[in-house]
Amino acid sequence: MSYASNKTAILIKDIYKLAYQTPVTSFKDKVFYTLKPILEIDAGTWITRGETDAHFYESDAYTFCLPDGFIQEPIHFNSVSEQIQNIYSIIYNNPGRTFDILDILTESEWYNSELYQLYCKKYQLSHSLMTTQIEPHNQVVNLVTYARHDADKIFTSEEKQLSEWVQPCLVDGLKINLLNQFQHQNKDAFYGVFDTFGHIIEAEDSLISLLQQSTLLQGAHCELIRDNPDCLIDHQGLMIQSKSHEGLILVEVMKSPLSKQLSSRQLDICHHLIAGKSNKEIAKALKLAPNTVNNHLKRIFNILNVTSRHQAIGYLMRQDILQ
């Protein structure tokens, strides 16, 4: 078995193990510490997001052994920012392929570039490997970069091949890690992970359905989550809690308690509905016109997302509306 095959087999086993056992907030960190001795890397980044046209920001990325502010620093140098965008456009247009910076620039061009002189040199980033993977169903991009300080220690062709082979495993491991977190949470809540631009990375079908019903989701994008990455929001009968972490927004969605979704009059009608009363009986008991009761019931059905009287009664009974 070749060097790359041996290393890949070891990594795949370790990464999948981490995917199942590691909290989502530390998965990328654990992966990089696993990769560090195998690829002999000194630093790196892992960016997961659905937006490819905007600048990179600190909140977009996981960084390994790099200081705060590293990701955003190029914004202050137009020439550096432009060179980064040119390099990444090549990488984006070749998903699944690992590039050494010296595949894109000659050694002389690289060390004399403003990108190196004004930015990478400051952090002793002499050599780097870069790989992207783009998900076909939602166009989410995972961009992983490995770097070395030693200018004399160029990445070998075997190490480059290993990086290329392991990239799909990293992305699959991240998916498993995200989905695995959903299974250990509140059974009454629905979960998803978004990037900082509000694009869905992974989400349960029920969460997507709830956001669509509330017209919060446009395609695979949610502006409310983008604009509120760390908060608790009560919106149109949904309790939405979000927490940002290294380029990801972890989202928990629950339906608000019925006591908050329904008016006091609608709650009165629900109590009579559960008791098995007809619309006429409810109208008489509450001294309302029958049409008024009918209109209230239509709104109640809409809030409960049911289409029949029997479904409404079953839903209300499960929610302990009589308590």
What digits encode the pLDDT tens for the residues 47-71?
998 877 777 777 778 999 999 889 8
User: Residue 208: what pLDDT?
Assistant: 87
What is the widest separation between alpha-carbon atoms in the chain?
A: 89
Segment holding 5, helix H or strand E:
helix 3-21
Q: Are 225 and 198 in contact (CB under 8 A)?
A: yes
Give the SS3 label for residue 82: helix
Compute φ and ψ for 262, nearest 5 degrees: -110, 145
pLDDT for the residue numbered 104:
95
Low-confidence ranges of the chain (pLDDT < 70): 1-7, 183-187, 318-323
β-bridge partners, 239: 234, 254
Round to whole Å and give the CA distance between 110 and 279.
78
**What integer pLDDT is reported at residue 212 of this predicted model?**
87
Which tens digits make up the pLDDT trace of 255-290? 777 777 788 999 999 989 988 899 999 999 999 999
Which residue has tokens 């029949």?
A: 308
Rg (C-alpha) for the chain, rounded Å, is: 26
Secondary structure of 184-216 in HEC code, one letter for each residue: CCCCCCEEEEEECCCEEEEECHHHHHHHHHCCC
Q: Can you give the pLDDT at residue 1?
A: 47
Could you write out the three-class secondary structure of 111-166? Answer: HHCHHHHHHHHHHCCCEEEEEEEECCCCCCEEEEEEEECCCCCCCCHHHHHHHHHH
Amino acid at 164: E
Query: Who's near 285: CB < 8 A, 6+ residues apart?
Result: 272, 277
Q: Catalogue all structural domains in the chain, each as residue range(s) with its CATH number.
A: 3-180 (3.30.450.80), 185-255 (3.40.1840), 258-318 (1.10.10.10)
Residue 265 is inside which H or E element, if any? Answer: helix 264-274
Cα–Cα distances in angstroms (integers) from residue 30 to residues 77, 116, 193, 227, 236, in the given order: 32, 28, 19, 29, 38
